[in-house]
Amino acid sequence: MAMPAAEIERLIREALPDAKVTIDDLRGDGDHYAAHVVSASFKGKTRVQQHQMVYQALKGRMGNELHAMALQTSAPE
Amino acid sequence: MDATVSDRIKSDLSANDVVLFMKGSPVFPQCGFSAAVVQVLTHLGVKFKGIDILQDPSLRQGIKEFSNWPTIPQLYVKGEFVGGCDIVREMFESGELQTLLQDKGISVKAAAG
């Protein structure tokens, strides 16, 4: 099952309004993405917590409709 | 989550220093992300227990609830959730994974160059 990149970005921004979201559709199939999310709300959080925040924003889609998304998170410099 | 599933996870984690919940076995991973983590651990010469969640649907669901993490693989060191494929790879590349393992008293092959 596929999910458009714009929808992923919208969901992330809804939860993390300041987020800079960069998404690459790795295979052009709408199913294998690499996302880089930069948000001030990641400051002071572990990587696991940062990724959990993004997964939470995706409301259960990660691992379901969204099969594969490599994720990288960071706080702005 | 079913109490027996949660008990099984806890007993696997307490019986083994390094546990990888994965798709397939360490010898025959069934998914590229699981294979990538196996490769990192093997490269570091770390002994780990691979648990194939494809063999047990209740475990497949249970481990996701246990860690509040939606995807497989999941790496645990001394009972603590370290991360999935992306985090493990990132930590390996920066050397943090090696440090974490050593800090927890797990022997790691000296990184070559």
Chain A residues within 8 Å of chain B (Cβ atoms): 47-48, 51-52, 55, 60, 62-64, 68, 70-72
Domains of chain B: 3-103 (3.40.30.10)
Domain range enclosing A66 = 5-74
Distance CA B69, CA A62 (A): 9
On chain A, the residues whose CB falls within 8 A of the CB of B87 are 47-48, 51
A3-25 per-position pLDDT tens digit: 899 999 999 999 999 999 999 99
B96-110 per-position pLDDT tens digit: 999 999 999 999 986
pLDDT at B113: 46
Any idea what the CATH number is for the domain that residue A13 is in? 3.30.300.90
pLDDT at B112: 52
Q: Cβ of B34: how many Cβ atoms within 10 Å? A: 26
Which of B36, B34, B20, B30 has the alpha carbon at shortest distance from B101?
B20
Q: What's the complex ipTM?
A: 0.85
Cβ distance of A51 and B87 shorter than 8 Å: yes
Distance CA A24, CA B24 (A): 28
Query: Could you give the C-alpha distances from B107 to A44, B8, B47, B97, B111, in angstroms and in order?
Result: 29, 26, 9, 12, 12
Distance CA A21, CA A9 (A): 6
Total domains, chain A = 1
**Which residue in chain B has the smallest CA separation from A36?**
B86
Chain B residues within 8 Å of chain A (Cβ atoms): 33, 64, 68-71, 81-87, 90-91
B18-43 per-position pLDDT tens digit: 999 999 999 999 999 999 999 999 99
Q: Cβ of B80: how many Cβ atoms within 10 Å? A: 11
